[in-house]
Amino acid sequence: MKLFLAEDDAVLADALLTSLSRLGFETEHAASGLTAEPRLLGADFDAVILDIGLPGQSGLELLRKVRAGKPTLPILILTALDGLEDRVAGLDAGADDYLTKPFEFVELEARLRALLRRSKAHGEARGEARFGSLRLDRAGQRAWAQDVPLDLSARELAVLDVLLSNADRVVTKEQIAAELGGDELGANAIEVYVHRLRKKIEPAGVGVRAVRGLGYLLEARQD
């Protein structure tokens, strides 16, 4: 899970980044609205924590732009305790939730997890599957890496689908063969499809690990 934090209070940002990474989140941070914008519009994050009182450009302005470009990205805004107008404006501008400062980290964590759960459920309802920067639209039979369309054959798409559907476990060649609609497909053919798919998704930071004797596993690659 990759999170983006836009917060200009260095002490608070440090504390949040430390606690979030302790929970296993990958994080990226910007201290101004201007530096946050290109990252938020250019890269793929699973959720955003956005301080409304940012220098450079206000969090609200940034929120409007990000929401226009990324309609489904979960965004939690942080506002001052007395910032009722900011909260209302933020929710109107498309924030999914808010927290007022000061807050306890456990509350941020709980809200973040709730947002991520809702986002996953909505994605699934739309027939979407995600892993890292990969996105698959099952109904439309299309896939993207970092919002760039992937050029995949129907069989490569089917392999990607079965791997995404089992993103946290090993998928056997038999499972992949069944998904591709044929017992007649041999293990060698499966290896070829996996190999082609791997070459196309690796540049997006997602690998397909071969687990000897068992099958394949999607994995996020560190670079």
- State the residues that interact with Ca ion by CB under 5 A: 8, 51, 53
| Nearest-approach distance from CB 9 to Ca ion, in angstroms | 5
Maximal CA-CA distance, the chain:
67
The DSSP letter of residue 167 is T
> Do residues 201 and 160 make contact, with C-beta atoms less than 8 angstroms apart?
yes
Least distance (Å) between residue 142 CB and Ca ion? 39
Comparing every residue's Cβ against Ca ion, the nearest one is: 53
Nearer to Ca ion, 59 or 215 (CB): 59
> What's the min distance (Å) between Cβ of 59 and Ca ion?
8
Min dist. Cβ of residue 8 to Ca ion (A): 5
Nearer to Ca ion, 53 or 207 (CB): 53
Residue (52 or 176) nearer to Ca ion, CB? 52
CA distances 19 to 8, 22, 87, 161, Å, are 17, 5, 24, 33
Q: Which of 55/182 has CB closer to Ca ion?
A: 55
DSSP string computed for 196-217: HHHHHHGGGTEEEEEETTTEEE
